[in-house]
Amino acid sequence: MGFFGDFMSIMKKRAVVLQSMTKEADDVYTFSFEKPADYSWRAGQYALFSITHAKVKPGTKPFSLSSAPAENAIRITTRIGATPSEFKQALLSLKPGMTVRVSGAVGSFGLDKAEPALMIAGGIGITPFRAILKQMVAERIKATQPTQLLYLDSSEVYPFKEELETLAAQASVQLTTVESLDKLELERNAFVQQNKEKGRFLIAGPKPLVDSLASGLQQQGVAKSRMKKDAFFGYL
Ligand SMILES: Cc1cc2nc3c(=O)[nH]c(=O)nc-3n(C[C@H](O)[C@H](O)[C@H](O)COP(=O)(O)OP(=O)(O)OC[C@H]3O[C@@H](n4cnc5c(N)ncnc54)[C@H](O)[C@@H]3O)c2cc1C
């Protein structure tokens, strides 16, 4: 979409109505909002969500859309632990029929060419990849080049795992779950060896993890221009 498209999209703010809240795992929740008729996005993009029913600071945070455009609902999935921030307390207090404000979607995170691709999700960083796989299946797109989703979750909960297994099989994507950084690096190295020059590398998750994985790739000779990163701050 580019800078101008993103700018126009971020300037447009609209209220969206909560339909439901679903607990995906112990501390992982999906909030599903009605999609306005004129709202659109590309799988992998994120939007800015603002709390309007309570006074919280900061009242606006970015979230990747965990739903695919084909699902016709705007969904975000987030981790809410035992001591939630004011923002997440406000999210939890939403009831169906109440609204939040959305601006965007923006960003270039996504698979847009038939080229080898390694997608790396750290924990809750699975959200944009769930949308990407779901949209591939909705459009009956199968990867024609080696395409792998590496899903790291040290707690071995892997939100969306069963659904992802089905989607990955349908989209000809290799899904690999790993519970440690060591295992992730073994898988990553194997992919890099084969596809360093022609591969695309997408990384999403907590910022420290994304930064360290990206510098690891660079040390292995992967050009920065071959990487796309969604670094979630607020997570260690
Ligand atoms: C492009 C992009 C996409 C993103 N996509 C996602 C996504 O799909 N899912 C997602 O979950 N996040 C996503 N994020 C990150 C998201 O915007 C938040 O930063 C993140 O969810 C942490 O929010 P928080 O309110 O818990 O953070 P913070 O306010 O930074 O809080 C961090 C931690 O501090 C503690 N804390 C903070 N305030 C209080 C308080 N008042 N009382 C007690 N404890 C407190 C809590 O333990 C909390 O977990 C994305 C970020 C970017 C940039």
Residue range 161-220, pLDDT digits in tens: 999 999 999 999 999 999 999 999 999 999 999 998 899 999 999 999 999 999 999 999
- Which domains does the chain carry? 2-106 (2.40.30.10), 117-232 (3.40.50.80)
Cα of 88 vs centre of ligand 1, distance in Å, is: 8
pLDDT of 125 over the 70 cut: yes
Atom of ligand 1 nearest to the CA of 78: 11
Cα of 91 vs centre of ligand 1, distance in Å, is: 12
Residue of the CA atom closest to atom 42 of ligand 1: 85
Residue range 6-50, pLDDT digits in tens: 777 777 899 999 999 999 998 999 999 999 999 999 999 999 999
Cα of 54 vs centre of ligand 1, distance in Å, is: 17
| CA distances for 30 relative to 54, 89, 124, 210, 211, angstroms | 20, 14, 11, 23, 26
Residue range 133-163, pLDDT digits in tens: 999 999 999 999 999 999 999 999 999 999 9
DSSP state of 136: H
- Between strands 13-25 and 99-106, the pairing is antiparallel
201-216 as b/e, with b when 16 or more CB fall inside 10 Å?
A: bbbbbbbebbeebbeb
d(CA 31, CA 76): 5
Give the model's pLDDT for residue 1. Answer: 57
Residue range 44-81, pLDDT digits in tens: 999 999 999 999 999 999 999 999 999 999 999 999 99
Cα of 233 vs centre of ligand 1, distance in Å, is: 7
Task: Choose one of 6, 56, 60, 63 to mutate for the ligand 1 pocket test, by most ligand atoms within 8 angstroms of C-beta.
Answer: 63
pTM for this predicted structure? 0.94
Give the mean pLDDT of 100-106: 94
The structure tokens listed for 139 are: 């459009």
Give the model's pLDDT for residue 6. Answer: 76
Give the mean pLDDT of 123-140: 97
pLDDT of 231 over the 90 cut: yes
Average pLDDT, the chain: 94
Residue range 182-191, pLDDT digits in tens: 999 999 999 9
Residue of the CA atom closest to atom 18 of ligand 1: 234
122-132 as b/e, with b when 16 or more CB fall inside 10 Å?
A: bbbbbbbbbbb
pLDDT of 114 over the 90 cut: no
Percentage above 90 pLDDT, the chain: 89
Atom of ligand 1 nearest to the CA of 79: 11
Torsions phi, psi for 124 (to 5 deg): -65, -10
Cα of 116 vs centre of ligand 1, distance in Å, is: 32
